Each structure stands twice: as C-alpha cells, then as structure tokens.
C-alpha cells in the first residue's frame, strides 16, 4: 500500500505517491490557479478525498473525489452561513477539513474564514452550519473583530473529534482560542487557561482571559486522546484532560530559537513524542526560520526537553515558513515526517527526523500537506 | 438574454463563453443560470446576496450590484473577473 502526500498550494494541488518512501512520483497540478487550503483523505474508507478550494475571483467551495483523486465533483451545497443572518456573514474561504468519528462514516467538519463551523453528514456533498457554535450567544465575543484575525481573514481550524466519543469536539480559532463541546457542537466553552495572550494588556483584576488567544495548531493524540498539544502564537503547550489548564512546555526550547511557530505534529503511537517547526517571532515578526537556519525540534518526553533536528536541511540563508497545516506524519515504522514550505519545497524524513531530504522543489507556496494510505 | 461568461466560470458551462438565460431581474437571470449550471450562482453571489468581491456584473455597459434591478430588454449580462482578484 503506497503512502500519499496531499500537497495543497496557493495555485492548485499535487499528490505525491511512494511505495517505499524512497522513490516518489508527483501527480498534478489539479485545480491549477485555485487556492487549495486543505486536502484530506477519509481514513474511514481510504478512498474519499475532500479539497477546500477557492478560485481567486469566485466563491469558496469544497470538491470531493470518490476515486482517490482521479475525478472531482463540487459539493452541491458548499459551506455557507444562513442567508439573512443578522451579522451578514459570508464564507470567504474554507480553510480546514476534518473527517468525523469512525462511527459516523458520512460526517465531516469544515472550518472557514470568517470563523465558522460547518458539518456534512453525507460525505461532503451538502454542508450545514453548526448553529450551536456559529450562533452561540457569546460567539461574536469569542471571534473578536477583524483586528483579531490573520491577515487574509480569521481562521477556524484544528477541529478535533475525540476517537472515544463522536459528541466530544474541540475547535480553535486564530484568534479566539480553543473551545470544547460535549454535545456534538450544540454548546461550547472556552479552554484556554494557562495559555499566554501577551498581545493583550493584563485584565484589571488580574484574572486570566477566557478567550481571545491565538492557537496556531492544536492536535489530539489518537491513542491517548486526553492529551492535546498546541503550537500557539505565544508558545508551545500541552494539556492532559480533565485538567482545565494548559502547560507551556515550550519554555524548554532554546532561548535563541524560542517557541513560536505554526505546526505541531504528533507521533501516532507515542504520546510523549512531538515535532514542531519554529519560526522567528521577534522584532518585526518575520515568521521565517530563526536566523535563516530551518530546523525541526523534537521532544520525546512530553515537552520536558527538545532536540534540534536539521541534518540535510540548509545550513543558512533559508528563510522559509512552514504553515500550520503544512507538516504531517505518516503511520509507518519508523514514522515519516513531511513538511512543505512557503517557497514551494516539500521535505521529508523517514527516520523520525534524524535526516531530511527535499523531495520536490519549485511548487507554489504550500498551504498544507497531509498524508494517507489509500485503499 | 445573452450572458457572457468569464473563463473562471466556464467549467460550469462546458466551456461555453456565451449562454442564454431568462429573467426580468438580475436575480431571476442568476437563478436561471444556476438551474442550467448547478453551483454557478454561489461562485458569483454570496449567501447574503452580495456580488462577490472580485466579480463585476455589467448589464449592458453599466455595472450593476442590485440583484433586484430590472433587466432592460435587449441588454446583455457580462460577468467579469475583476482585476483585483488576480494574484
């Protein structure tokens, strides 16, 4: 069974395929000229692919392939807010796709810009707003204003479905913070205690802010789902539920690198192992590799310590950014890690970050890289 | 009426640069286009009935954002991908 990488870029998407993770072939482009934000293989049938896409001039949509990417069909009803709703929201782009629980084979979730949550129960053909979030009486406070958004619009991302319970969901927003639902999205509550938001002044009474934080990427361990990890605008965090408080494990990162970045990736079998790709969040916030020297940092002890991994990566003058969706792991042994850069390079390691090699160059700006093993 | 379709939307019209649609108002013409070419309208008009940011609708030679506007007999509708949308 091959490993595939689904590479979504600012100008279309590509699929990389390998049987042995040594020799790779590249198919594409598909949807050349369209912004493709996220492509995900359905792990439940390992055949269905969904792609969140927007042609620059046209409205946002979701494309669906039921044959592993050979042919694509547009959703009959793409994610969209309720017509005539009082806030006048309209989806600008679909940013995030998450397959639903294993017991709900047709269910998918989508996160949009502006920040909205949508669900499909028919495999991505039709989508409906999750009113419990989009119309929650506090939602307008949670999402903030346009000054609480990323430059091309706020993002709802990192939609997580507890593998033990399809009604237990998490989502995160840039900005806004992380939120939890125990009833399949009917109601939500903030989950941000312990997370810094140093772009805000302290509250007058010294209490912690409940929301308004800027999680860049939040992940849940598949075999230890009480453990969540977060790469935030203000550091790297871990939480072990039911503890309500995040712990800043990024404090153990080297001071000259810091703990700012976009992606965080987990080892699918080892709940203590994670990888991050730091970026420069100092001064003017260039959001490039610190010092122009890209490196992955690995922890094998739950974040108590971090090791720099850079063998094979450029030694200097490499001013990349790896975006929040653009780093992933496969399920092989040893684990393969893959990341795509804003400069259009696709890098891989198949020895758990002991060494890296560039698989492809000259692609457009890479938004996301996900992996799968198609049926 | 004759509708001039920009390249970005010809995936919906089987590659045709011009199609015919019926309607007394812009909204009715767009509804007819969506009946003929499912999905067409949402790529041009958002869920709050606003013309999308990088789309311009010309009825005859005039820009038109009001979907309720009556269509003058004999006018064409030209849908344009605005310069602002290129990147």
Spatial strand order in the sheet of A337-340: A327-329, A337-340, A346-349, A357-360
Strand partners, A308: A297
Helix (H, G, I), strand (E, B) or coil at A370: strand
Q: A288 Cβ partners below 8 Å, 6+ apart?
A: A279, A280, A319, A320, A321
Contact status of A152 with chain B (Cβ, < 8 Å) = no
Strand partners, A110: A97, A118
Expressed in angstroms, the distance from the first to the final Cα of chain B is: 32
Contact status of B35 with chain A (Cβ, < 8 Å) = no
pLDDT tens digits, one per residue of A193-221: 999 999 999 999 999 999 999 999 999 99
Report the share of chain A in percent with pLDDT over 70.
100
- Residue A299's pLDDT band, with cuts at 50, 70 and 90, is very high
Domains in chain B with CATH codes: 2-82 (3.10.20.30)
Pair A270, A261: CB distance under 8 Å: no
- Residue A42's pLDDT band, with cuts at 50, 70 and 90, is very high
Q: What is the pLDDT averaged over residues A98-108? A: 98
Within a 10 A sphere around the Cβ of A334, how many other Cβ atoms? 14
Residue with tokens 């810009």: A113
Looking only at the bridges linking them, the beta strands covering A366-372 and A3-9 are antiparallel
Cα A347 to chain centroid distance, Å, stands at: 18
Contact status of B44 with chain A (Cβ, < 8 Å) = yes
Within a 10 A sphere around the Cβ of A276, how many other Cβ atoms? 28
Query: Given a cut of 90, is residue A136 above it in pLDDT?
Result: yes
Chain B residues with CB-CB distance to A84 below 8 A: 48
The mean of the pLDDT values for chain A is: 97
Q: CA of B52, closest CA in chain A: separation in Å?
A: 7
Chain B residues with CB-CB distance to A72 below 8 A: none
Q: What is the pLDDT averaged over residues A10-23? A: 98
Query: Given a cut of 80, is residue B87 above it in pLDDT?
Result: no
Cβ contact A55–B48 (<8 Å): no
- Residue A152's pLDDT band, with cuts at 50, 70 and 90, is confident
Alpha carbons A176 and A142: distance in angstroms, whole number = 5
Chain B residues with CB-CB distance to A54 below 8 A: none
- Residue A223's pLDDT band, with cuts at 50, 70 and 90, is very high
The two three-digit tokens of residue A268, written as one number: 């699918």
Q: CA of A64, closest CA in chain B: separation in Å?
A: 14
Interface of A with B in 21-80 (CB under 8 A): 55-59, 61, 74, 76, 78, 80
Cβ contact A83–B9 (<8 Å): no
Cβ contact A58–B46 (<8 Å): no
Q: What angle do CA A321, A327, A330 make, to 5 degrees?
A: 160
Cβ contact B54–A57 (<8 Å): yes
pLDDT tens digits, one per residue of A312-345: 999 999 999 999 999 999 999 999 999 999 999 9
Cβ contact B44–A61 (<8 Å): no
Alpha carbons A77 and A2: distance in angstroms, whole number = 32
Query: Given a cut of 90, is residue A151 above it in pLDDT?
Result: no
Contact status of B6 with chain A (Cβ, < 8 Å) = yes
Mutation target among B41, B47, B87 for the A interface, most CBs of A within 10 A: B47
- Total length of chain A: 375
Expressed in angstroms, the distance from the first to the final Cα of chain A is: 7
Q: What is the pLDDT averaged over residues A238-267? A: 97
Chain B residues with CB-CB distance to A91 below 8 A: 46-47
Kindly provide the b/e burial profile for residues A231-248, where b requires at least 16 CB atoms within 10 angstroms of the residue's own CB.
bbbbbbbbbeeeeeebbb
Q: A230 Cβ partners below 8 Å, 6+ apart?
A: A172, A178, A195, A215, A217, A218, A219, A236, A237, A238, A239, A246, A264
Which DSSP string do the residues of B23-34 spell out, in sequence order?
-SBHHHHHHHHH
- Closest-CA residue of A relative to B87 is A56
């Amino acid at each position: 069974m091959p490993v595939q990488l689904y590479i979504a870029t600012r100008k279309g998407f590509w699929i990389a395929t390998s049987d042995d993770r040594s020799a790779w072939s590249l198919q594409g482009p598909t949807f050349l000229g369209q912004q493709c934000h996220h492509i995900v293989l359905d792990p439940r049938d390992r055949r269905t692919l969904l792609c969140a896409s927007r042609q620059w001039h046209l409205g946002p949509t979701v494309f669906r392939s039921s044959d592993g990417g050979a042919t694509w069909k547009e959703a009959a009803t793409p994610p969209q807010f309720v017509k005539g709703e009082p806030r006048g929201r309209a989806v600008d782009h679909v940013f995030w796709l998450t397959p639903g629980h294993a017991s709900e084979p047709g269910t998918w979730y989508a996160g949009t810009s502006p920040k909205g949550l949508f669900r499909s129960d028919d495999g991505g053909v039709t989508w409906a707003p999750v009113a419990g979030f989009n119309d929650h009486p506090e939602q307008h406070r949670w999402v903030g204003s346009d000054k609480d958004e990323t430059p091309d619009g706020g993002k709802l991302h990192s939609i997580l479905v507890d593998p033990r319970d399809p009604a237990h969901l998490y989502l995160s927003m840039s900005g806004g913070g992380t939120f939890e639902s125990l009833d399949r999205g009917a109601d939500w509550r903030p989950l941000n205690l312990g997370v810094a938001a140093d772009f805000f002044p302290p509250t007058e009474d010294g209490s912690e802010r409940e929301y308004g934080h800027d999680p860049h990427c939040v992940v849940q361990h598949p075999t230890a789902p009480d453990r969540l990890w977060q790469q935030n605008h203000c550091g790297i965090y871990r939480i072990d539920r039911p503890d309500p408080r995040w712990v800043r494990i990024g404090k153990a990162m080297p001071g000259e690198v810091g703990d700012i970045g976009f992606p965080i990736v987990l080892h699918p079998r080892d709940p203590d192992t994670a990888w991050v790709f730091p970026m420069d969040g100092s001064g003017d916030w260039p959001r490039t590799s610190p010092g122009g020297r890209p490196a992955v940092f690995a922890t094998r002890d739950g974040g108590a310590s971090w090791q720099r991994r850079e063998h094979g990566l450029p030694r200097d003058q490499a001013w990349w950014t790896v975006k929040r969706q653009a780093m992933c792991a496969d399920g092989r042994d040893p684990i393969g890690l893959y990341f795509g850069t804003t400069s259009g390079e696709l890098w891989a390691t198949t020895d758990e970050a002991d060494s890296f090699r560039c698989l492809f160059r000259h692609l457009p700006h890479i938004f996301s890289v996900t992996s799968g093993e198609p049926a | 009426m004759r509708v001039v379709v920009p390249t970005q939307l010809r995936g919906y019209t089987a590659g045709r640069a011009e199609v015919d649609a019926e309607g007394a108002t812009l909204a009715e013409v767009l509804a007819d286009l969506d009946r003929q070419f499912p999905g067409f309208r949402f790529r041009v008009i958002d869920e709050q009935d606003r013309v999308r940011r990088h789309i311009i609708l010309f009825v005859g030679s005039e820009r038109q954002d009001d979907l309720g506007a009556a269509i003058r007999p004999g006018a064409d509708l030209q849908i344009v991908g605005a310069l602002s949308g290129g990147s």
